[in-house]
Amino acid sequence: MTPHAVIAGAGVAGLTSAVALHQNGWRVSVFDRAPVLEPLGAGLGLTPNALRALDVLGLGDAVRERGAVQETGGIRRPDGRWLARSDLAFIRARFGDPVVGLHRRDIITMLAEALPAGSLRTGVTVTSATRDGVVHTSEGELGADLVVAADGIGSRLRTALFPAHPGPVYAGYTSWRMVVPVPDYLVEATETWGRGTRFGLMHLPDGLLHLSANSVAPPRERERDERQAVLRRFGHWHAPIPELLAAVQPGQVLHHDVAELATPLPAFHSGRIVLVGDAAHAMTPNIGPACLAMEDAVTLGLLLPADRVSDLDSALAEYTALRLPRAVALARRSRRVGLAGQWTWPPAVAARNLGIRFGGLLPASVTARALDGSVDWWPPSRSPAAPSARG
Each residue's pLDDT tens digit, 247-263:
998 888 999 999 999 99
Q: Please tell me the total number of residues recorded for the chain in this structure.
A: 391
Sign of dihedral through CA atoms 252, 151, 340, 342? positive
DSSP string, 299-351: HHHHH--GGGGGGHHHHHHHHHHHHHHHHHHHHHHHHHHHHHHH--SHHHHHH
Statement: residue 101 has pLDDT above 70: yes
Q: How far apart are CA 149 and CA 293, in angstroms?
A: 12
CB atoms inside a 10 Å sphere around CB 385: 6
Query: Does residue 52 have a pLDDT over 50?
Result: yes
Kindly report the number of other CB atoms within 10 A of residue 36's CB atom: 7
260 near 17, Cβ under 8 Å? no
Residue 220 has pLDDT above 90, yes or no: yes
Nearest to 174 by CA among 284, 248, 264: 284
Q: Which amino acid is at 15?
A: L
Closest to 137 measured CA to CA, from 157, 166, 118, 165: 157
Domains, the chain, in order of start with CATH, read: 4-168+261-371 (3.50.50.60), 171-259 (3.30.9.30)
Determine the longest span between alpha carbons in the chain, in angstroms. Answer: 66
Q: Provide the mean pLDDT of the chain.
A: 92
Indicate if the pLDDT at residue 366 is higher than 50. no
Strands in 68-69's sheet, in edge-to-edge order, are 43-46, 100-103, 68-69
Other Cβ atoms within 10 Å of 327 Cβ, number: 24
Of 31-40, 99-108, 213-222, 377-386, minimum mean pLDDT range = 377-386
Rounded to a whole number of angstroms, the distance between the first and last alpha carbons of the chain is: 43
Residue 110: the pLDDT is 97
Q: Which DSSP state fits 133?
A: S
